[in-house]
Structure 1
Amino acid sequence: MTNDQTYRQTIEELETILRALENDTVDVDDLTARVQRSAELIRLCKQKLRNAEAAIDQVFDTLDEEDDAEPNDPADR
């Protein structure tokens, strides 16, 4: 599994595998490999989503910290 793939590339590969499975174009001998690859891709997608969520949370935490650190302007009262 390569982490160099983008989320979009990973989803596209999953969709390709799904279409092949839906169209019965996957040979039985290849089925196990495709299912295993799908599981790897799903794990990669989950990891990328968790990483994105953590990065976004960090941005909002930083913004909140900046807001808390700013002195209150008497004109705002």
Structure 2
Amino acid sequence: MAKTMKYEEAVRELEAIVDKLENDELDIDSMAERLKEAQKLIKLCKDKLTKTDEEIKKLLNGDEKQ
């Protein structure tokens, strides 16, 4: 998983992992690895959402001051 992955790509990866988990397509070893990957993807998504939220707030606050 690359740090430069876009939010949408990360969400698609997460959805694929969830689908495989729900359909019992993973053996126990693969499941552990995919869950670790999902954890990293969730953090990446949360970080991107937080950063975007902060940028939007800055932009909105800048507009209010003008």
- TM-score (normalizing by structure 2): 0.93
Runs of 4+ in 1 over 2 A off after TM superposition: none
SS of equivalent to 2:26: coil
SS of equivalent to 2:43: helix
TM-aligned CA deviation for residue 55 of structure 1: 0.5
Tell me the residue number matched to 1:20. 20
Residue ranges of structure 1 left out of the alignment (5+ in a row): 67-77
Residue 29 (structure 2) pairs with residue 5 (structure 1): no
Tell me the residue number matched to 2:52. 52
| Partners of 2:13 and 2:33 in 1: CA distance | 14
Q: Who wins on radius of gyration, i.e. which is larger?
A: 1
TM-aligned CA deviation for residue 64 of structure 1: 1.1
Number of matched residues?
A: 66
Percent identical across equivalent pairs?
Answer: 32
| Partners of 1:65 and 1:27 in 2: CA distance | 56
SS of equivalent to 1:4: coil
C-alpha RMSD of matched pairs (Å):
0.9
